[in-house]
């Protein structure tokens, strides 16, 4: 019953969110702020995690492919495919669900418990549309860019292993990275990230918007937003992988 209530409330909320904004000018202002807040401010963590994961994947791939029957470029190939297919789209979204999702849920939740959302409603503003739509659209806009940047930086991390250690040569790595490249995998990652970006922002907004009580409930809303959007991302990853690959 509880899950049905959540689905019903979420659907009703999205009905209020996905409408034309009352004021276009206000919407675009909010949208540009969110681009900066959700997108650009996520860039440092994306860069740091991606470069390290790229390097670690390369080292682990080398360890697991110590076989004379396997070509030397296998390491670069494995690193590229792992980054493209799973890390930069799914794992990165799981990480950003923690950063962006908790930020959104706590921001909207605090606005709810301090009556700022009620104040908007009483002014005649569609608070859900005003607060949530720019967040969803901004993150959906930024997410594909973050995925592409993450993949590129991850590959640089792998290259650094070749350049600064004797685990693999740069030449072998670069051949592997370019070998049998399928451009569709880039689209596959982008499509997944668009879906996950919507899931992260809309679910976090939902938990924040319906937060009740005090600071404790806002914290709980934030936790629920992260945990449940992570579960939903993994579930949708399974479905999308089956459908798209």
Partner 1 sequence: MIEAKDIVKSFEGNVVLDHVSATLRDGEVNMIIGQSGSGKTVFMKSLIGLHTIDSGHILYDGRDLAKMKEREIRELHREVGMLFQGSALFDSMTVMENVLFPMEMFSRQTREEMEERAAFCLRRVEMPEHVWHLMPSEISGGQQKRVAIARAIVLEPKYLFCDEPNSGLDPKTSLVIDALIQDITREYNICTIVNSHDMNSIMEIGDNIIFLKGGKKEWQGSRHEIMSSENEALNDFVFASDLFKKVKQANN
Residues contributing to the site for partner 1 (CB under 8 A)? 22-23, 25-26, 110-111, 114-116, 118-119, 121-126
Q: What are phi and psi of 22, to 5 degrees?
A: -60, -45
CB of 111 to partner 1, least distance (A): 8
End-to-end CA distance of the chain: 35
CB closer to partner 1, 33 vs 171:
33
CA distance 45 to 34: 17
Q: Tokens 């005090």 appear where?
A: 214
Please tell me the distance from the alpha carbon of residue 150 to that of residue 145, in angstroms, as a whole number.
8
**Closest to 37 (Cα-Cα) out of 111, 103, 131:** 103
Residue 62 or 112: the one with the smaller Cβ distance to partner 1 is: 112
**Shortest Å distance, C-beta 218 to partner 1:** 13
Nearer to partner 1, 22 or 182 (CB): 22
Our CB check for partner 1 shows the closer of 131 and 136 to be: 131
Shortest reach from residue 119's CB to partner 1, in Å: 4
Q: How far is the CB of 146 from partner 1 (least distance, A)?
A: 24
Q: For the CB of residue 12, give the shortest distance to partner 1 in the complex, in Å.
A: 12
**What distance in Å separates the CA atoms of residue 46 and residue 93, rounded to the nearest whole number?**
10
What number of H helices and E strands is found in the chain? 11, 0
Nearer to partner 1, 60 or 116 (CB): 116
């Amino acid at each position: 019953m509880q899950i049905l209530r959540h689905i019903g409330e979420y659907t009703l909320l999205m009905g209020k969110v996905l409408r034309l904004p009352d004021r276009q000018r206000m919407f675009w202002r909010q949208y540009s702020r969110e681009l900066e807040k959700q997108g650009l401010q996520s860039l440092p963590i994306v860069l740091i995690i991606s470069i390290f994961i790229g390097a670690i994947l390369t080292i682990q791939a080398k360890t697991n492919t110590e076989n004379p029957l396997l070509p030397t470029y296998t390491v670069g190939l494995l690193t590229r495919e792992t980054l493209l297919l799973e890390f930069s789209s799914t794992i990165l979204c799981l990480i950003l669900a923690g950063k962006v999702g908790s930020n959104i849920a706590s921001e909207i939740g605090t606005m709810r418990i301090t009556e700022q959302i009620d104040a908007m409603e009483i002014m005649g503003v569609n608070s859900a549309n005003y607060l949530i739509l720019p967040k969803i659209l901004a993150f959906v806009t930024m997410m594909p860019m973050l995925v592409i940047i993450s993949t590129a930086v991850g590959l640089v991390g792998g290259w650094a292993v070749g350049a600064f250690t004797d685990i693999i040569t740069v030449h072998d790595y670069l051949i592997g990275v370019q070998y049998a490249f399928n451009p569709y995998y880039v689209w596959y990652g982008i499509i997944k990230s668009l879906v996950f970006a919507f899931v992260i922002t809309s679910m976090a907004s939902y938990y924040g918007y319906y937060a009740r009580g005090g600071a404790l409930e806002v914290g709980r809303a934030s936790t629920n937003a992260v945990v449940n959007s992570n579960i939903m991302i993994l579930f949708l990853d399974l479905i999308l992988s089956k459908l798209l690959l």
